[in-house]
Structure 1
């Protein structure tokens, strides 16, 4: 579905990607392949079955493409960098309709990909370089992840801080 005039450029079209919902973990559990139709509230429970997570959104309602194309602060940033740094491959539809994979380094050599400039541009370039239809990301082994708010009444604070 496209919505004329709803993009970040004059006469642009907003493309709704909510039906692109494929998600899988590689056999070696090192890579998550995910479509742009997901939010991380879908991704994290899926990965939990494998005792995995990814360095991405801190909140579940955040969409996959939003954070991965804009940089992305995450809970694992001090160890692995921004969320966009976790992406190892983008599948992209270019303006001419051609579907390409953008990778870098060893992946680029292995897949004979020549789109390392596009790979670099997509890491923070938002939706300005094509329509991303798949993200491959590094996974992080994680058995104990909990998210929530824990409050302590003031009377118990000294004991809590021991």
Structure 2
């Protein structure tokens, strides 16, 4: 029986030593995996910081572009306001010229022959100028 106990102890010792080596190998592999995970997390942290910096730059550039667009839109608002005022003034001038031409044409028609004789002077020249202006403006509008 002593021999049997000695053999069992020897087998248990061999199994324990084998188990020790297996556990040791597994712990080394786990340590290596942990070091690799730590290195990967460090790299990810650095990349996240770079992405964060890039995102901040993009937001800053977007804000600058937005502010620039707002400034330019305000300038265009002023420009379009000026163009509108010029259009209104041109329309008023056109209406005045039209009314003057109509008035001159009516006076010429009402004046009859005496007006035609007088029209050979300054009044005729003015009436011709107004009529020509109306024709030119009509052609410009048509084009």
TM-score (norm 2): 0.17
- Relative contact order: is structure 1 or structure 2 higher (C-alpha 8 Å, sep ≥ 6)? 1
Bigger share in strand: 1
Instruction: Normalising by structure 1, report the TM-score.
Output: 0.15
